Copies of this chain bind each other. A is one copy, B any other.
Amino acid sequence: MDKTKRTRLEAAGWRVGDTADFLELTPEEAAFVELKLALADYLRDLRVKNGWSQTHVARVLGSSQSRVAKMEAADASVSVDLLVKSLLALGASRKQVGQVIARAA
């Protein structure tokens, strides 16, 4: 596994080495986490591409800068619900969201 990805997974709150051995996710769990990471990356792309700060995005979404940071980090405390709602609120289409999710890992 890619070291960067592993770090991100840990950051996302997924017990990596909880029991001193290595990442052990069922295929569904893995697919779910990757799906979430993909949405998080897309959110960051969208924001950066438009030259927005996290604070600005937070205002648009009616949220806070810290939550936007956590969204982009795919933190364990953010749901797919929040990511999807946020992307739609920032102008992404349902179709685009679907494509981001469908894109093979």
* A interface with B by C-beta (< 8 Å): 28, 31-32, 34-35, 79-81, 84-85, 88-89, 93-105
Task: Rank and list the top 7 A-B pairs by shortest CB-CB distance, nearest first.
Answer: A98-B102, A98-B101, A28-B88, A31-B94, A80-B81, A95-B102, A98-B98
Give Cα A97 to B84, complex, Å. Answer: 13
User: Which of the residues B28, B85, B96 comes within 8 Å of A32, measured between beta carbons?
Assistant: B85
User: Which of the residues B32, B88, B104 comes within 8 Å of A95, measured between beta carbons?
Assistant: B104
Min distance, Cβ A86 to any Cβ of chain B, angstroms: 9
Give Cα A31 to B96, complex, Å. Answer: 12
User: Which of the residues B28, B93, B94 comes within 8 Å of A85, measured between beta carbons?
Assistant: B28
